[in-house]
Amino acid sequence: MTYDPDNVFARILRDEIPSDRVYEDDEFIAFRDIAPAAPVHVVVIPRGEPATSPDGLGEADAGMVGRLVVTATRIAREQGLAERGYRLVMNCGEDAGQTVPHLHLHILGGRVLGALG
């Protein structure tokens, strides 16, 4: 899938759409999801034009993805989720529930989330 520079996350990065940002650095931004699936639901996205989903990642992306996960765990701690636990989710494609074609990671927590499967 080709990257769409007008996807909602690209527009958030350009400040064309407001977001409730909880974290920002030179590589990533994180903001509260507008349709939260848990009491704490933060989305972490890379700046620029990353792969549209995890399926588009390659070896060259390994460092960025590692930093994405480390950044998400730091944000989870800052949001008070570390003691009780939280879930990190990356959806890949429509069948998995991916709605925005821009690589992103969800941080979910603040209640018992239940087992997967």
- The count of other CB atoms within 10 Å of the CB of residue 49 is 15
Which pTM was predicted?
Answer: 0.95
- Residue of 41, 102, 104, 106 with catalytic role: 104
Over residues 79-102, the pLDDT tens digits come to 999 999 999 999 999 999 999 999
Hey, where are the domains in the chain? Answer: 8-109
Over residues 50-83, the pLDDT tens digits come to 999 999 999 999 999 999 999 999 999 999 999 9
Catalytic residue flag (residue 104):
yes
- Domain 8-109 CATH (choose: 3.30.428.10, 3.40.50.300, 3.40.50.1100, 3.40.50.1000): 3.30.428.10
Q: Which long-range contacts (CB under 8 A, 24 or more apart) does 13-20 make?
A: 13/45, 13/47
Using CA atoms, how far apart are residues 10 and 101, in angstroms rounded to an integer? Answer: 10
